Each structure stands twice: as C-alpha cells, then as structure tokens.
Chains A and B, each alone.
Chain A
Amino acid sequence: MAWFENLRRLNRALAAAVRRVLLPAFLFAAYFIGLGLTWLAGRIFRPSLFESPDLRARSFWRDAEGYEPDWEDCLRQS
C-alpha cells in the first residue's frame, strides 16, 4: 500500500499548495473588490456609517437590545 500512501501525500501537498495560492487570492479579491466597492457605495449612499460619534453628546450610553433572549432566540447565531 506504499503507492496509496504516496498518492495521499501528493494529494495533501497539492491541496496545501492550492490553499496557499487560492486563499490569499480570494482574500485579496474579497477585500479590495468586495469590501472596496462596498466602501465606495457606503461613502456615497450611507456616509453616516463612517462618521465619528458626536463628542458633544451628554452621554455615550446606548440602549441595549437583544439581551433578553428566549429559547428560540438562543438557537440563532445572530
């Protein structure tokens, strides 16, 4: 079964090489194209997303939401 082991080893090496190349390429594209276009759209259509908080506010506490979950809420990951 040495040939099978060699095949598995080769397979693993190929998979690792593909991961090494594909993953960074995917992340690069996802960031600069995906996030980049979203950033551009956000700047144009929703500039409030990028604004700093109003430092003149009397308090920075915000009302908390989603902290009284029931069993069904807890089943969700969001």
Chain B
Amino acid sequence: MPANILGLSCHYHDSAACLMREGRLAAAAQEERFDRRKNSADFPRQALNYCLQAAGLAVFDLDAVVFYEKPYLAFARVLISHLRAFPRSYGSFRRTMPLWLADRLALPVVLQRETGFSGKTLFIKHHLAHAASAFLLSPFEEAAILTADAVGEWATMTRGNGHGSAVRVTHEIRFPDSLGLLYTAVTTFLGFEAHEGEGKVMGLAGLGRPVFLDKIKSIVALRPDGSFSMDQSYFDFYREDRMYSRRFVEAFGKPRQPGAELEERHCDLAASLQAFVEEAVICAARDLQAQTKTPNLCLAGGLFLNCVMNQKILEATDFKNLFVQPAAGDAGGALGACAFVSHSLLGQPRDGRMDPYLGPEYPASRSRRALTNAGLAFRELSDEELYRAVAQKVAAGQVVGWCQGRMELGPRALGNRSILGDPRNPAMKEIINEKVKQREPFRPYAPAVLEENASEYFHLTQSSPFMLLAPRVREEKKAAIPAVTHVDGTARVQTVSRSLTPRFWSLIHAFADLTGLPMVINTSMNLRGEPIVCSPEDAVSTFQRSRMDALVLGNLVVERGAS
C-alpha cells in the first residue's frame, strides 16, 4: 500500500507542496517562502525539495504525486469561457494560452523534468481538494463542508459533508457565478491588487456602512439557500487590468486609482460587499446545517480566509464548532489532495490534529552564521532568560522579530515567524507600520492570546489557533488593548496553546507575568510586498532593512545598535 504521498498546487497563485507519510502530515510549505516572490505561482520545486528533505526521502521513494486540479477540465472551462466572451476575450486568450500549452496541460512531463519522478501522478478536482483539506484535517468524525473561492475547474462554491474518511460533495455553483471573483472584482475597483488586496477590503469594511447592499443585491440574485447568480453585464473577467465592466462603474462611480485617497464611498462599498458575502455564506451554511443536522462545519477555499465572515457564520448559524485549516486558500489544495489520497482512497487513519508548523527549521549554527556574516553582535540566552528578556522589550514598547522552530503554513504568522508588539500601547499600530510593515493605516493588527485567557478578553466560543476568527472584544477590555481592537470592535484573534506552540506560549506567559496582560501583538515577519521570512538569512535581511528594535532567532538575540 502506498505510504509516501506528495501533494502539489501551482500555476495560479500560492504554489505549495505537501508530504504525507503513513497518513500523517510530515512537511508542507509554500513556494513563495523559498523563491521570495509573494504568492508565487511557479512549479513548487523548492518547496517540493524541502518536503522530501524534511522527511528524509528521495523522489524515488514517493508512491504517488497528487495534483489539486483536473487540468483538462480547467482547460475546457477556459476555452468555453473565452468562446462565450468572443471576441472581447482575445487579450485574455493571448495571455493565458501560452501558459496552458507550456506547463499546465503537461504536469507529469513537468514533474519528470523538474524532479525525475516518473511514478503515478494523480489528479483530483480543485474543490474536492479544498473539501478534503477542510474535513480530513479537522478533529471531527462527521461535519458539513462548505468551500468557496474564485474558481476551480467549473465550481466556485460547493457544499457537502464528511464522515470518517469519506468526503462527499453534493452541490456546486459554477463559473462565472463566484463570490470569490465578486470580492476580487470589487478589490480591483477599490484600487487594490487582485489576490493580495482582499484582506485590505475586509479591513476597510469595518470603516464603512453597507449603503450599497441593495445595489449589490440587484446585481447578484441571492436565494435563501445561499445560491446566487451574478448579472455578468457588470463584470469583465477577461480584462487584464480590471474585472468590472463599464456598467459597474456607472452603478458605483469612478474606480479608485491605486494609492489614491480613500473616500467614504470606498469604505461603504467595501462594507456593502462584506455584508453581502456574509449574508450569502450564512444562508448557505444555514441551509447546509438544516440538511446535515451536524453541529460541526468545515470551511476551505480562499474566501474563508475572511476571518470576519467566519466569525459571523459561527454566530448566525446553529453550527457549534468551526474548523478552517490555516492554509484555506489554494496552498491548502496541496494538503487536501494529499489527504484525500491518503485517507479516502488508501484508508489510512486520520489523526485529527492539524499542526500548522510544517515548514523548515534551521539549526542554531545556521542562525549564528547568518548573524556573523551580517556583522551583527548577538547574545545567546537560556530559554527562561529569553522569555523574560523579550517580554521586557515588548513591554517597553519595542518591536521585536521572533523566529522559532518550524515555519508556519498559510498566510498568517502564528508565532514562529512573527513580529511582536505591546497591545496596551494605543500608538503601537503606527509604530509597527513606521518601523517595519508600512501598511495602510486602517488595517488592524492581531492579538495572540493565551488560550486559557481568551474568553476573558473576547466573545469567543471556541479556540482560534490559526487566526481565522474575528470575535468582538469584550466592552470592558477594549481600553486595555487599544492596539488590537479594530474600529468595529473586533479583533483577529490567535489563541495560543501550550501543547501546539510551547515557546510562543511561554513568551506570552512571561509577558503576562510582567504586565498582567496575557497577549501580545502578532503580525507576520515580512516587509511590504514580500513573503513571510523563511530562513535566518531572510530574517536578518528583514531586520537590516527595517527599523525593528530587536531580532530573536531561536535563543539568539540581536539588538539594534549593537554591532
């Protein structure tokens, strides 16, 4: 029985590789962390090599490689869509066809060329990969499953259920009706980059009022079961530079140019979009709950990286338990593809434990070398000294880079490739923005809170280890943590457990001993436009190109100004 299964996702955005041995996740990483190009779509050769290396395998030891899509079906959709939009789809045709002809339709050939692998290559549908990643990696024995993203082969949203090791997808919504594409179209209308600015629109939504909700509903017909159909005359998914039509501009006014000042109507449009998508997904979830009668819901697909929406689903439906794996977007497709083959096809048992720390880990000798090569003086501390020293720095208002152990999978830093700050300081957001992140001022920073104290500060009914829920901050605590409370009174919480993240937990515990507050600000360690750091060299480079006050690599501490 095959035991070493490699999953791959690539060609659109967020390329990734994942390796499962005997049904257990051994390693997974996104290509962007290695090639240093954000949302890299390239064949994940470095991520793949890392996975093999981490598991101590050669490519010949793999029993199967599984891809997160059926390329011929996706190609058929692309051709038919271009046919329907003839002749205005020529630009898109000219741009995309070379990509299909070069690599996308010849994955086994590419795989052999890149790695020498000549064994079995498997293909599963895109949304089945999402559904499998959502359910098979969850702790649930049975659950309802909802997936949504821009588009897979044809499907843009699916619903179904999981039981044991079986995943069933029962219904789908098809392209061009897509909540993911709707969100991206409005993202580009608001002057943000597609596949990158959606999170910014989610943050912007908190500043506006949903005054355009009725207008959006007149464009997108929504049914009580959460299904929907979009009036395509408002959209243009074949344009290179934008995804909305002239009619959309007539309805919502002039689009915002990138970098232009944000007006009230931009915030209102973001709020209206967010409200509409929440309503659609809540309707779909309620209908699914009525059918499946289970208290458990698993979500996957890029749309469910929207933590505000995930929280609303939990609050507005009868589902009691929600699971969203940390790489809910396309990178997670590699996990789902792997998990489907391992558990559903080969019957290997699930372990029900999702550990997001699946990336590379570097020895202290490598960190020492990186620091020495950069001419940076450092101190080596014991664990206890380290937690105390870093807690003191954070409490003193410093911005500290914190790199420990294995890198996280997914778009959020979860305490192993993080930048830390003090949530009590109302100016901390501006300080982190100025020293490192250069983010838009309306975007909030997230708190990482000890799991056992989370409900004291937030209206949280379950843990949120992957930072994919945004509960309301308790009224009486808002003043205590101004730096992580968004204008709408919510916070994108990470609950930190001792069992999953012992070093990060110990650090926050030390901060609590010092200040009485069991949480720190946790944001990803990267500069604007760059992927999260991976190696000690990446971290050192980020430290040198920013004004971060200190950098911690394992037990090594570097302070700015010391050389």
Give CA–CA (A61, B66) in the complex, Å. 28
| Residue in A27, A49, A53, A66 whose Cβ sees the most chain B Cβ within 10 Å | A66
Interface flags for B116-141 (1: CB within 8 Å of A; 0: not) read 00001111110110010000000000
Complex contacts, A75 vs chain B, CB 8 Å: 120-123
Residue of B nearest to A63 (CB): B171
A71 & B345 in contact (Cβ 8 Å cutoff)? yes
Complex contacts, B90 vs chain A, CB 8 Å: 31-32
Q: Which of B82, B122, B172 contacts A64 (CB 8 A)?
A: B172
B223 & A59 in contact (Cβ 8 Å cutoff)? yes
B84 & A31 in contact (Cβ 8 Å cutoff)? no
B120 & A67 in contact (Cβ 8 Å cutoff)? no
Give CA–CA (A42, B345) in the complex, Å. 39
Give residues 9-53 of A contacting B (CB, 8 Å).
23-24, 27-28, 30-32, 35-36, 38-39, 42, 49-50, 52-53
B123 & A74 in contact (Cβ 8 Å cutoff)? yes
A5 is an interface residue with CB less than 8 A from chain B: no
Question: Main secondary structure on chain B at its contact with chain A?
Answer: mixed
Complex contacts, A42 vs chain B, CB 8 Å: 83
Give CA–CA (A28, B97) in the complex, Å. 11
B225 is an interface residue with CB less than 8 A from chain A: yes
Residue of A nearest to B122 (CB): A74
B527 is an interface residue with CB less than 8 A from chain A: no
Complex contacts, B345 vs chain A, CB 8 Å: 70-71, 74
Residue of B nearest to A49 (CB): B84
B160 is an interface residue with CB less than 8 A from chain A: yes
Residue of A nearest to B98 (CB): A23
Give CA–CA (A34, B390) in the complex, Å. 65
B242 is an interface residue with CB less than 8 A from chain A: no
B125 & A66 in contact (Cβ 8 Å cutoff)? yes
Complex contacts, B87 vs chain A, CB 8 Å: 31-32, 36
A78 & B232 in contact (Cβ 8 Å cutoff)? no
Given known A-B contacts A61-B173, A77-B123, A36 and B160 have beta carbons under 8 A apart: no
Residue of A nearest to B121 (CB): A75
Least Cβ distance of B335 to chain A in Å? 16
Q: Which A residues are within 8 Å of any B CB, using their own CB? A: 23-24, 27-28, 30-32, 35-36, 38-39, 42, 49-50, 52-53, 55, 57-64, 66-71, 74-78
Q: List 14 A-B contacts (CB under 8 A).
A: A27-B94, A30-B97, A49-B80, A53-B177, A55-B229, A64-B155, A67-B125, A67-B168, A74-B122, A76-B72, A77-B70, A77-B72, A77-B123, A78-B73
